[in-house]
Amino acid sequence: MRVEPKFRWKIPAFRRGAGWALGVVLLAGAAREQPVPGVEAVDFKVQLENYAPPYEAQPRTLLESAKVQPQPGGLILMTDAQLKAFSTNGTLELLALSPHCDFDSVRRTVSSPGPLQLHTGDGRFFTEGLGFLWDQTNSTLLISNHVHTVTRKGLLPMQASSAESSGNIDVISDWFLYTRNSGLASYHGHVRVTGTNLLLTADNLLLELPATGSSFKTIVAEGHAVIDRGDLHALGDKAVYLASNDVVTLTGHPSWRMGGREGRGDELVLDRTTNVFRATGHAYLKLPRDSAASSLWLTSSPDPAGARESTNRFFEIFSDDYELSTNLAVFRREVRGSEFVENKPQGKLSCGLMTVWLSGSNRVQNVVAQDQVVVEQNDGCITAEKAVFSATNSASTFTGKPTWQSGPREGSGDVLILDRVSKELRAQGNARMRLPADQIRIVEMSPSAGANRPGSVDAGKRLVDISSDAYDLRENSGVFQGNVHLRNPQGRLFCDLLTASLSQGPGEESRNAVAERRQNRVEIVWLDAKGQTNYSWSDKAVYGYTATHSVTNELVTLSGDPVVTNPQGTHTGDPIVWDRVRNTVYAANEKSEIASNTTNTPDLFRDRDGTAVTPTGTTNGGTSK
C-alpha cells in the first residue's frame, strides 16, 4: 500500500525545535518530495494501514518509535521502534520491536541489519532474529539470520501429553518469513524444533500462525524431516500436521521406529487422538518375537547356535497397508509375513488380511490370518481361508477348506490343528491324506515278493490315499479314526481305527500297523505277487515288519473270526497269517476251509460308493502257494 496524505501523522514532542519542520518533512515524503535532513523527533507514530469498512476506524498496522531522524529519499531512521498489528476489535495481534531500523516511507518498508523481536498479543509466540525486512505492501516480514522462536502453553500441538504441552517449544532456523495476509510463518535452513520429549529437524518448517488463544492449525516440515517424540523416531521428506483431526502425515520414503517396532510405507499417518499408525503403499512392519516362545507359523526348528539366549528374534510383515495401535495391528492386501531367528528365516505366511494382537511388552501374542492363507516352512505348507496362532498356545488352527503338504505327503480336512512344538497335525472332518505307498505297507506287497511281477511299479512312486473322519499325525506315526478307507493300487483297507508307523524316506520301512474294528469289521483286499486278488475280513489286522541279519519277516495277522478268500478258496481260522515275503496265506491253528471259486469277489467287499473293490490291474485266476 502506498502512502497517501490521508494518513494521520502524530508528532507530540520534538528536539531542537524542529517539530513543525518534521511534520512537513514526513508529509512531503509521502508526496515523494525531498525532506530536509537533520531533523529529529521523539514519540513518533504513523498509522500504516486501516481496515476496510465497516472497520475503517480501526487501525490495522501502526508504526511507533521513541526517536526518528529523516533521511534523503523518504528514509527515516528509527530508534526503539514498534510495529503493531491489531484485529478488527482493536486487540493486539502482533508486536515487533527493533532498537534501530529504517522506515522507507516511499516503499512502505521497515528494515534493519540489527536484532528484532516479534510477540503475539497473548504472549504465547515469541520470535527473535538478526536482520529483518517488513514489507507493508505485501504484508510480509523477513528475518534473515539466527532465528529463534519460543511457543508457550501448547501453541505447538505436536507435543504428546498435557505435561509436555505445558512447557515451551523452541524453534531455531537460518531465516524466517511471515505473511500476514495468509497467516503463514515459515522457517528455512537447519530448522530445529525442541521441547519436552520432542525434537523435530527439517530443511523448512511452515506454520499457520493462529488467532489469539488457539494453536497452530497446520504444521508442515519439508526436506529431511525427522521427528523424535518419546521413544518414537520418524522421518520422511515431508511431515504435515493438521490440528483439525490431530493427524501427522509423513511422505517421501517415510519410516519410523518405536521401541522394538519399526516400519515404513509410501505414506505414514499418525492419528494422535487414537495413537494409531497407518502405513499405505509398500507397507512394512518389524515386530519383536518373544525369545521364549515357539515358532508362530509352523513348527519350531532347532535354534541356531547361541540363538536361545539371543534377542535377535523378530517378525517382518509386508502388505499394501496396515494400522498399528498399542495392542493391535491390522494388515490388508498382499500380506506377507516372515519369522527370523538370528536373521535366519524360520517360516513365512501370506494372506489377504491379518490381525495381530500385541502384549504390553511389545510382543506378538495372537495372530488371525484370513483370505487365501498360505503358511510355509522348509518343505512344508498349509493353505486355508483362516488360520489362528497363539504365542501362549502351541496349537494353530486352520479352517476354510484347509490343506497341507510335507515333502511327498499331503492331506486335508474340515479343520487342521497343528501343534508347533510336538509337530503333531490333527485333521477333523472329511480327513484325507496321500503319501507314498512304501511309507505305510499294511496292504503293500513286499518288495522282494513283488519285484518280479510284470508291470510292477516301485512303491515309492505309487501313492496311497487314506480317508477317515479324523486323523492324528506325528513325524513317524499316524492314527486314523472313523470310516477309515485306505486305497492303494495293490489293495484296499476298511476299518474303524488304524494306527500305523510311517517311514520317512527311501531305505526306511513302515514297521507296524494295526487296523481295528469298533462297529464295522476290518476289510482288506490286496493283490499278491502273482497278480491274484485276495479278500479278508476280521475284527483286527496287525502288520509287522522285522529284519534280522539276512532274514526278513513281513506279516499281516488277522484275528477275530477272520476269513480270507482268494482264487484257491476260502480260508478260516483264528488267526490267519498273510506272509507277504513268501506270498502265502495260512491259518496259524491249521484250521482252514478251501473251496474252488469261479470268482473270488464276495458281496461283502464293496467300496463305500457301492462299486466292487478290485485293485487296479488284478486277475482272479491262478493258484496261491
* CA pseudo-torsion sign 302, 306, 309, 310: negative
pLDDT value at position 404? 93
* pLDDT at residue 55 greater than cutoff 80: yes
Instruction: Name the fold adopted by 254-380.
Output: lipopolysaccharide transport protein A fold (2.60.450)
In the numeric block, which cell numbers belong to residue 510?
513302515
Q: How many CB atoms lie within 10 A of CB 67?
A: 16
Which of the two residues, 528 and 191, has the higher pLDDT score?
191
Give the range among 225-234, 277-286, 555-564, 604-613 with minimum mean pLDDT: 604-613
Residue type, position 126, single letter: F
* pLDDT at residue 361 greater than cutoff 80: no
CA angle 100, 102, 104 (to 5 degrees): 165
The confidence band for 339, taking pLDDT boundaries of 50, 70 and 90, is: confident
pLDDT value at position 207? 82
Give the mean pLDDT of 248-271: 88
Q: Is the CATH code 1.10.10.10 the one for domain 116-243?
A: no
Q: 502-517, pLDDT tens digit by residue? A: 876 555 556 788 999 9
pLDDT value at position 314? 82
* pLDDT at residue 619 greater than cutoff 90: no
The confidence band for 300, taking pLDDT boundaries of 50, 70 and 90, is: low
The confidence band for 412, taking pLDDT boundaries of 50, 70 and 90, is: very high
pLDDT value at position 440? 83
Which of 384, 378, 394, 305 has its CA nearest to residue 339?
Answer: 378
The CATH architecture one would assign to domain 423-587 is Sandwich (2.60)
pLDDT value at position 309? 46
Give the range among 179-188, 301-310, 445-454 with minimum mean pLDDT: 301-310
Instruction: State how far the Cα of 5 lies from the Cα of 28, in Å rounded to an integer.
Output: 9
Same fold for the pair 116-243 and 254-380: yes
Which H or E run includes 313?
strand 313-324
Secondary structure of 155-201 in HEC code, one letter for each residue: CCCCCCCHHHHCCCEEEEECEEEEECCCCEEEEEEEEEEEECCEEEE
Which H or E run includes 283?
strand 276-288
Give the mean pLDDT of 477-501: 90
Which of 609, 557, 612, 543 has its CA nearest to residue 585?
Answer: 557
Give the range among 196-210, 373-387, 499-513, 540-554 with minimum mean pLDDT: 499-513
* Those residues with Cβ within 8 angstroms of residue 505's Cβ, 6 or more apart along the chain or in another chain: none
pLDDT value at position 554? 84
* Those residues with Cβ within 8 angstroms of residue 271's Cβ, 6 or more apart along the chain or in another chain: 245, 246, 247, 278
The confidence band for 590, taking pLDDT boundaries of 50, 70 and 90, is: low
Q: Domain limits of the chain? A: 1-107, 116-243, 254-380, 423-587
Q: 357-366, 594-603, 608-617 — which one is most confidently predicted on average? A: 357-366
Rounded to two decimals, the pTM is 0.75
In 3-state terms, what secondary structure has residue 243?
Answer: coil
Q: How many CB atoms lie within 10 A of CB 595?
A: 10
